[in-house]
Amino acid sequence: MAGLRIPKSYSRITRVLLGLILWGTANPVLLACGVSPHSILQVQGKVKVQRGGSSWDAYSGLGLNNNHRLALSSGAKVTIYCSNTQIKEVSARGGYPVSGICSSARSNNNNRCSIYRNEEDPNTPYLISPRNTKITESQPLLSWHPVEGATSYRVEFVGTDWSTKVKGTLVRYDGEEVLQTDWYYEVKITAYQGENDIAVSSAGFTILSEEEYQQLEVAAKELEEQFSERQVLAIALVNLYRDYELYADAIEVLQYLLSEGQPGAGVYQILGQTYRDVDLLGLAKEQFVKALEAAEAEDNLELQGNLQASLGEVTDLLATTQTDFQEAADWLQGALVAYQGLEELTVEEAARIAEIEDKLVEVKGKIE
């Protein structure tokens, strides 16, 4: 194995934020994935997000697109995490196009848009965390889906000498071999009922490179120095983690935000997208549904279209019955209705509508 042998404990950055590990029970490409390129970190006073003749309240965690406009009342202030990782602040009364605040079109939020059907069979012990993500830990805590009737599980790192057998669905890697940076580790989990193996599943993760880790440390320290409020810092860290494909860390922080009473369509949506990024489609769908309910309450038609499209795509990937495919078609049709209700579609949105229309034809072809 190539790579540096530098052991790391679990993420120092997340530890600073949370105080302990919390294990819970992100341009055109981003638009296609359903996640806006920019994110609001903090709002003070009255701030509205405007688009055409529509407007909605700004709040921490809400995504922003380049065609949005911010309207600040007297004494208001808003802080934004831009797609180029710059943090911008606006604090004067007036209207401000987001494209002028976040001038760069560059984005580091590496959403894995092309998701293929992956093993997420409830009859298998599929890996939940860390799954299809980069991590900074040298001794990661592994968790997986419980299989009905299983009395024990065997966990092994393919290509190494490490394996262990446990009764629960949680174990920390404690092998003598130091995990290497820039190396993909496949985790194979076998469920047993007595002495008989009844199901098996595998997925994996990658250790963040040393260079990226050092960059991450610097960036996270700057955020910690800039934001003293824990919830604001958490939203900033979610964006940073996703920039480095540290999806497991991002999920952990998002779960913290929800546990602290930080709901809102934006937070639910980014958690759903992050679950989708790691191919946990069932969990992604749950969060997209919550996000849609919040977006409807916020009267955010644009976000409703994004979310219904995401729900249609995820439901199609999960579908096993005609009823499932019909549900996917209904979500996609709802997305088209929402988009058609928008004024002055952007080029990206027009392309997105074409994608949804093509997907709808494909899904309807699966319905007998």
Whether domain 113-207 has CATH 3.40.50.720: the reply is: no
% of the chain at pLDDT higher than 90: 68
- In whole angstroms, give the CA distance from residue 50 to residue 65: 11
How do residues 178-207 score in pLDDT, each as one tens digit? 898 888 999 999 999 999 999 999 999 999
Tell me the pLDDT band of 347, cut-offs 50, 70 and 90.
confident
Residue 133 has pLDDT above 90, yes or no: yes
Tell me the pLDDT band of 109, cut-offs 50, 70 and 90.
very low
Tell me the pLDDT band of 287, cut-offs 50, 70 and 90.
very high
For the chain, domain boundaries: 36-101, 113-207, 210-364
Q: What is the mean pLDDT of the chain?
A: 86
% of the chain at pLDDT higher than 70: 86
How do residues 226-245 score in pLDDT, each as one tens digit? 998 888 999 999 999 999 99
The structure's pTM equals 0.85
- In whole angstroms, give the CA distance from residue 153 to residue 166: 5
Superfamily of domain 210-364: Tetratricopeptide repeat domain (1.25.40.10)
- Summary count for the chain: helices (H), strands (E): 11, 16
Residue 363 has pLDDT above 60, yes or no: yes
Tell me the pLDDT band of 118, cut-offs 50, 70 and 90.
low
